[in-house]
Structure formats: structure tokens, C-alpha cells
């Protein structure tokens, strides 16, 4: 994602007009702070960040928009994308006010945040936080550009002598101040080498205003600690995938998901990194003369990687027992093949040692692959036009299974996607005994109750493109 940020924003530095860049992402990256810092380097651009999904990285998306003085929005899987696109168009087409500034006219104010005000858009208020040192009455002047013309408006203001009625505002300002301090050293926060003065000020604000920050946190202290039988207990805590996210979509097949299981204590982004490392590890066998899949390690010799995190109650976790000594096994003289001395397994992960394979290894004969049997006739037609769930129902009905969950009349409500939506097609469907409940002409979609014994005949109609279950 960093490359895309640089390519999109770099041209704005030498342009005499404003460059608007829109990013659509779920934010599943591991260098959030570096990305925000890169956006901040290009003041002559406006960044609009849109998150797509139910469990997006809101911190990254909102921070990119703040650093880019644009706007952000999250479109969940249940939202309508066209409505969000329309709102984006309206904001880009006609912002209410750009290049906004405030003249405080000598009022006793300090620490006004944000330092660089973003543009003002319809439906998005521009919120400014600051502190004042004494009660005062006066006026401020808001300046900016509207439709390319200079804009100016004077607003009267009164600063009260007592702030007890709005005590929550101090916490609001402190949070804004912490965000401003973080923006001064995104690179240091990403690498863990924060400027000492920035870390000190953030820590003090967190303590003074009781806020959780990068350097302060809330600690829950148990009043009683119980250790059963005097022994601590290791508890493996699973980490569920966020809503709308699957392991298949993030790290691949089930094998990769199992590889991640020992790392249940890590964050989602760290797990993704571990899965990537695991995939590199599994592809790290490098050999000369002989391909890796045709070589098997003899008994007593193996390689692998793993890890885990847990929590203990009542004391430290005892050290794990030492690994058992390798079992001795007599080598068989039959079915052995000599290998050249330059044959070796090389593990690319620097955390694992490099070792060489023995000079003699058993020859493994790969079984010939079983030829794939492709369906033909009606079965091939059904698999091409029926969704997997509808096909499962049909198979269950054919087997007369008791757990098929069918209607008493052995029908099922389905969606029929058509190549054309004509009166002749409707007549063909009715002739098959299909009960049509709804016709959507624009979508070429029919919702109907279909007898299961008519599914094969229905699939044979050329006008039927696809059949799926009705979404409730």
C-alpha cells in the first residue's frame, strides 16, 4: 500500500492545483503509522479514505483522512455502495469551504487543534478544540475560499469563567492533543524509537486526564489470586476472525489457518505476518539434482517451526521439558539411493538453523495421480447452473434423507436468473408447475417456488442462467 500512496501523492508536490486522491481499502496492513506519516508529507493533496467491510482498520482509514485533510467513511457489507459514492461525489464537487483559517483577534486561547484545519464539507462539521486562560468576550473571524472566491465571516464568542458544566471538554481536548503529538513522529512510533520529548508529553497527558495512550494503559488488579494445587495454569485464548473476514481471504487455505493456531495471542495483523512467514518456510527446501517433493527425511530427522502465547495465574510458567532424544533406527540397505554431497535443505527463516541432509536417503516413489472424473450429461448441467446449496438439497431429496428440511410439498423457494425476461419464458416456467411470486424485470430475476423434481427440467431451459436459494 505504501507504493500506491507514494505514486498517487508525489505528483501533488510540484503541481499548482489541488490533487484529490481516493483510497478504497480494508486497512489490513502492518505499517499503519508509516502510511499516515507518508500522507502527511504531501500538503498539496486531499486524501479521502474509504473502508470496505464490516471489520476494517478504522484507525488507519480515519487517520489517513485527517493527515490528508480530507474525509473518511466506512461502507459495511450491508450498506449500499452507490449511496456512499454519491456522498463522495457531492463532497468533491462542491466543498462548502476550503483553505479554512480562524483569526482569534487577541482572545486568550492556546493549543488550538488541529493546527492545519481541513476543508469543510456538507454534512461533516469541522470541530476545533483549544484552551483559554481567562474569561473573555469578543469575536473571531473565519476565513476561507468558497467556489474559488474569498470568504470571511465574523462570529461573536464568549468564554465563560467556569468550566464545570462542560468538564468533558478537557478530556476531548487532551485526546486531540495526544493525536497531534503522535503526528509529529509517526516514523518513531512505528519503529518504537519515539522522540523522548514526545513520549514524555503523551505519557503525562495520559496520566493527567486518565486516558489510554501508546505509553499508558488501564490495569485491572485482582483482589484474590487462586492457584489450584499450587500450580499455575496455561490458558490458550483463541482469537476469532473479525466479522466479514475469513482465513481463506486473508491467508489462504485451511493449512495456513492451522499454522496460525499456535499464535492465538497475537493480533490479526501479526497473525497475517506469521502466516506469510509460514508459507515462506514451507517453500524453503532448496536442492540440487533432486526436487524437494521426491525426498523424505529418514526417521528421527525432522524440521519445523512453531510458537505460542498464554497466560499464567499465580506464578511463573514452568519451563517446558527438554525434547526427547532422537530415536535410533536401523537403516535399511534396501530401497536406498546415494545423493551428492551438495544436496542440502536450506531454511530461509533466520530464526531457524541451516542443516544438511544425510548422504543417504530412502527413495520415495510417488503414486500416480488419480484421474479426475468430470461429471457429464444432466449432472454437468446441474452443477453449472445450480448453486452448491441448491444442488445439495436436490441430492438430499434424491436420497430421501430425513434431514433435508424441505417443505411438505417438496418445493423450495429459489431465485432464477434469466438470459431474457419475456412472456414466452414466463409461460415455460408456468408449464413446469413453477409458482412465480415476483418478477424483477430490470434485474432479469424471478423469485419462485420450484418443485425439486422439476429442477433438472428447469436447468435445461436455455433462458435460465443460474439458480440460487432465496436470500431471506
Indicate the burial class of 51 (C-beta count within 10 angstroms; 0-12, 13-18, 19 or more). buried
Domain at 415, CATH number: 3.30.70.80
Domain shared by 389 and 416, yes or no: yes
Whether residue 438 is contained in a domain is answered as yes
Domain shared by 71 and 128, yes or no: no
Whether residue 350 is contained in a domain is answered as no
Q: What number of CA atoms fall less than 13 Å from residue 245's CA on the CB side?
A: 21
Residue-level pLDDT at 277: 40
Percent of the chain topping pLDDT 70: 71
Q: In this model, does residue 305 exceed pLDDT 60?
A: no
Residue-level pLDDT at 250: 63
> What are 156's strand-pairing partners?
139
Residue-level pLDDT at 330: 45
Contact 63, 32 (CB under 8 A): yes
Contact 70, 118 (CB under 8 A): yes
Total domains in the chain come to 4
Tell which wins on pLDDT, 374 or 209.
209
Neighbours of 237 (CB within 10 A): 9
Alpha carbons 355 and 341: distance in angstroms, whole number: 13
Q: H or E element: which one contains 81?
A: helix 81-93
Tell me how far the alpha carbon of residue 216 is from its chain's centroid: 26
Whether residue 149 is contained in a domain is answered as yes
Q: 73-104: per-residue pLDDT in tens? A: 899 888 888 888 888 888 877 788 888 999 99
Percent of the chain topping pLDDT 90: 15
Whether residue 257 is contained in a domain is answered as no
Among 22, 113, 8, smallest CA distance to 73 is for 22
**Locus of grid cell 524440521:** 303
Residue-level pLDDT at 286: 35
Tell me how far the alpha carbon of residue 10 is from its chain's centroid: 26
Domain shared by 217 and 183, yes or no: yes
Alpha carbons 130 and 47: distance in angstroms, whole number: 25
Domain shared by 148 and 196, yes or no: no
- Which residues touch 423 (CB under 8 Å, ≥6 apart)? none
Alpha carbons 453 and 394: distance in angstroms, whole number: 8
pLDDT class for 206, splitting at 50, 70, 90?
Answer: very high
The dihedrals phi and psi of 360, each to the nearest 5 degrees, come to: -115, 135
Whether residue 435 is contained in a domain is answered as yes
pLDDT class for 153, splitting at 50, 70, 90?
Answer: very high
Neighbours of 178 (CB within 10 A): 23
Tell which wins on pLDDT, 197 or 277.
197
Task: Give the residue numbers spanning the domain of 200.
Answer: 168-222
Whether residue 212 is contained in a domain is answered as yes
Q: What number of CA atoms fall less than 13 Å from residue 218's CA on the CB side?
A: 5
Residue-level pLDDT at 287: 34
Domain shared by 14 and 89, yes or no: yes
Q: 58-75: per-residue pLDDT in tens? A: 999 999 998 988 888 899
Tell which wins on pLDDT, 156 or 306.
156
Whether residue 318 is contained in a domain is answered as no
Domain shared by 178 and 154, yes or no: no
Q: In this model, does residue 299 exceed pLDDT 90?
A: no
DSSP letter assigned to residue 55: S
Whether residue 196 is contained in a domain is answered as yes
Among 50, 58, 56, smallest CA distance to 81 is for 50
Residue-level pLDDT at 151: 92
Q: Which of 222, 244, 268 is a domain's end point?
A: 222
Q: Which of 51, 74, 93 is a domain's end point?
A: 93
Amino acid at each position: 500500500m505504501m507504493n500506491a500512496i507514494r505514486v498517487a501523492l508525489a505528483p501533488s508536490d510540484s503541481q499548482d492545483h489541488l490533487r484529490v486522491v481516493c483510497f478504497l481499502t480494508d486497512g489490513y496492513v502492518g505499517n499503519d503509522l508509516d502510511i499516515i506519516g507518508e500522507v502527511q508529507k504531501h500538503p498539496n493533496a486531499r486524501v479521502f479514505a474509504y473502508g470496505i467491510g464490516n471489520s476494517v482498520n478504522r484507525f488507519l482509514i480515519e487517520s489517513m483522512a485527517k493527515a490528508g485533510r480530507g474525509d473518511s467513511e466506512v461502507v459495511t457489507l450491508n450498506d449500499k455502495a452507490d449511496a456512499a459514492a454519491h456522498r463522495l461525489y457531492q463532497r468533491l464537487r462542491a466543498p462548502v469551504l476550503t483553505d479554512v483559517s480562524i483569526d482569534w483577534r487577541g482572545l486568550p486561547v492556546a493549543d488550538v487543534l488541529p493546527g492545519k484545519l481541513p476543508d469543510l464539507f456538507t454534512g461533516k462539521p469541522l470541530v476545533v478544540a483549544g484552551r483559554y486562560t481567562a474569561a473573555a468576550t469578543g469575536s473571531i473571524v473565519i476565513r476561507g475560499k468558497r467556489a474559488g472566491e474569498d470568504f470571511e465571516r465574523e462570529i461573536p464568542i464568549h468564554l465563560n469563567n467556569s468550566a464545570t458544566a462542560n468538564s468533558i471538554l478537557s478530556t476531548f481536548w487532551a485526546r486531540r492533543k495526544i493525536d497531534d503529538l503522535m503526528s509529529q513522529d509517526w516514523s518513531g512510533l512505528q519503529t518504537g524509537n519515539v522522540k523522548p520529548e514526545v513520549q514524555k508529553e503523551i505519557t503525562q497527558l495520559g496520566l493527567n486526564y486518565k486516558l489510554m495512550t501508546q505509553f499508558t494503559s488501564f490495569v485491572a488488579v485482582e483482589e484474590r489470586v487462586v492457584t489450584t494445587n499450587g500450580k499455575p495454569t496455561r490458558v490458550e485464548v483463541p482469537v476469532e476472525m473479525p466479522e466479514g473476514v475469513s482465513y481463506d481471504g486473508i491467508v489462504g487455505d485451511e493449512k495456513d489457518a492451522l499454522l496460525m493456531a499456535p499464535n492465538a495471542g497475537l493480533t490479526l495483523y501479526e497473525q497475517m505476518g506469521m502466516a506469510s512467514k509460514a508459507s515462506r518456510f514451507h517453500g524453503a527446501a532448496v536442492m540440487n539434482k533432486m526436487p524437494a517433493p521426491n525426498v523424505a527425511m529418514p526417521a528421527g530427522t525432522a524440521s519445523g517451526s512453531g510458537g505460542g502465547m498464554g497466560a499464567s495465574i499465580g506464578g511463573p510458567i514452568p519451563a517446558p521439558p527438554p525434547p526427547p532424544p532422537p530415536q535410533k533406527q536401523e537403516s535399511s540397505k534396501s530401497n536406498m539411493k546415494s545423493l551428492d554431497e551438495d544436496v542440502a535443505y536450506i531454511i530461509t527463516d533466520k530464526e531457524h538453523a541451516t542443516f544438511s541432509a544425510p548422504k543417504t536417503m530412502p527413495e520415495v516413489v510417488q503414486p500416480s495421480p488419480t484421474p479426475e472424473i468430470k461429471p457429464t450429461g444432466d449432472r454437468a448441467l446441474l452443477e453449472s447452473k445450480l448453486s452448491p446449496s441448491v444442488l445439495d438439497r436436490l441430492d438430499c431429496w434424491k436420497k430421501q434423507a430425513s434431514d433435508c428440511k424441505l417443505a411438505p410439498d417438496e418445493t423450495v423457494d429459489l431465485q432464477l436468473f434469466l438470459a431474457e425476461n419475456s412472456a414466452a419464458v414466463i409461460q415455460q416456467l408456468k408449464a413446469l408447475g413453477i409458482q412465480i411470486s415476483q418478477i424483477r424485470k430490470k434485474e432479469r430475476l424471478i423469485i419462485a417456488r420450484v418443485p425439486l423434481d422439476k429442477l433438472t427440467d428447469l436447468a435445461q431451459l436455455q433462458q435460465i442462467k443460474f439458480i440460487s436459494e432465496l436470500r431471506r
